[in-house]
Amino acid sequence: MSINSFDDYPMSWKPNLSGAAGPKYLALVRLLEEDVKNGVLKAGTKLPPQRELADFLNINLSTVSRAFKLCEQKGLLSASVGCGTFISSGATTEPVLLCGSENAQIIEMGAIVPSIECNDRVMQHMEALTRHPDALHLFSYGTPEGTLRHREAGALWMRKSGLCTDSRHIVLAAGGQNALTAALGALFERGDKIGVDPLTYPGVKTSAKLLGMHLIPVQERNNEMTEEGIRYAIQNENIKGIYVIPDFHNPTTHIMSLETRKMIAKIAREDNLLVIEDGINHFLTEDPLPPIASFAPDHIVYLSSLSKCVSAGLRTAFIHVPDRYRQELVTALYSMNISVSPLLATVASGLIEEGITEEIISERKRRIVTRNLIVNEALRGYPIAGETTCPLRYIHLPEHFTGKSFEICARQAGVQVYGAERFAIGNRPAPRTIRISVTTPARLEDLSEGMRRIKKLLC
């Protein structure tokens, strides 16, 4: 069909491939990337059907399909069965949330970085450990799954969270993000679909993109996945598993109800659905509910890290893994980092065994409460979510702001925050919200000044 026959035909996107060099599918990808970047294609825009676009461009349908698949892997597109293909809500945002501490003019309240006040306890323990006669072994290679002592300490850590497990089901990773990426790479295949909340932790977005996996938003009610939403995604979107953060969800700060935890465990058992449960914030909640994994330990991979609640530099994570997934996960971890650091793993183990972690967590929570009192006072009367021990807060914005526009204005005012677009999955418009970190500003004075600037923008 001639391209001219579409001159008066309504289409949301009419790319021009004339003069494009190289394979046509890659040229189509480049054009879509450019039009998204330049604002020609906005988030939520529904693209023409693939066959229609192929006819318009006078190319094979397979060429368009290949281009769309690559764009979906890049996070630019979100396809929904029976609804079509849309520009993703977060297509124009940067999912890597790194601390901008090198810019002294900016008060960092975007990236979540625990304060350093409690690191003295960790340092004291490490100094004592390095004076041990066998300390040289701590600077050698370790094993990918950790030593028996490390795994037993991990099992103790898990039991403290309410998950009854043992050392046979524990492996170690070099931090929570490392554990998450390894779990995705080991337990899913390229092209697989994984269900997530419509707003989710950006780290899972970057890992999925790296591994060529697709994240599918699951229907929610009151900030929690519904049973009908999960079952619909299994049957119609063909998801292979789900990723959830039950405690102080990032970014909404929501704590998942006990009923929803049991419901997800039930589906995991009945439908053999693989669940990756991220327990990164579990110990910071005031009255922790049992992990989802405690109701279905043979079906759920549970991730727990010391970074947020003990020490950011203690890059040690424990993974509870069912028997059938263990070897694949160990192999993936070996492929990624050969071994965990024996020094850090041994420090973590000693802190857990001696009960020092509980003392550090208690002190961290006390300091977070102090910081949240400053936030609450600054935003008195504004809709803001997050409990007093939560290291992040979720703020609803006035109608004249989007999350992205407020983030830009805040940056111009000298404060880094993150708009909801950075966390969005799928094609629905992101809510008018931002997420802030209350733990990252080094001093309480910096936090107070950051909140003063945020409030000035909100008024």
pLDDT tens digit string along 371-380?
999 999 999 9
More confident residue, 138 or 194: 194
Q: What confidence tier does 2 reach under pLDDT thresholds 50, 70, 90?
A: very low
- Average model confidence (pLDDT) across the chain: 90
d(CA 190, CA 198): 21
What is the model's pTM?
0.84
Q: Where are the alpha helices (DSSP H) in 5-89?
A: 24-37, 50-57, 61-73
Write the DSSP assignment of 123-141 as a string of letters.
Answer: HHHHHHHHTSTTGGGGGS-
Region 67-96 average pLDDT: 78
- CA 301, chain centre distance (Å): 16
d(CA 144, CA 171): 8
pLDDT tens digits for range 142-172: 777 789 999 999 999 999 999 999 999 999 9
Which pLDDT score, from 0 to 100, does residue 139 have?
Answer: 82
pLDDT tens digits for range 349-389: 999 999 999 999 999 999 999 999 999 999 998 999 999 99
Distances in whole angstroms, Cα of residue 359 to Cα of each of 58, 121, 145: 67, 9, 27
d(CA 1, CA 25): 19
Strand order in the sheet with 214-217: 170-173, 317-320, 300-305, 274-278, 239-244, 193-196, 214-217
d(CA 306, CA 409): 34
Nearest Cα to Cα of residue 223 among 407, 420, 455: 420
Which pLDDT score, from 0 to 100, does residue 1 have?
Answer: 41
More confident residue, 44 or 209: 209
Q: What confidence tier does 22 reach under pLDDT thresholds 50, 70, 90?
A: confident
Q: Is 120's pLDDT higher than 50? A: yes
Report percent pLDDT > 90 for the chain: 65
Contact 281, 437 (CB under 8 A): no
Region 28-40 average pLDDT: 86
Region 42-46 average pLDDT: 83
pLDDT tens digits for range 415-436: 999 999 999 998 788 899 999 9
Q: What confidence tier does 8 reach under pLDDT thresholds 50, 70, 90?
A: low
Which pLDDT score, from 0 to 100, does residue 410 have?
Answer: 95
3-state SS assignment for residue 278: strand
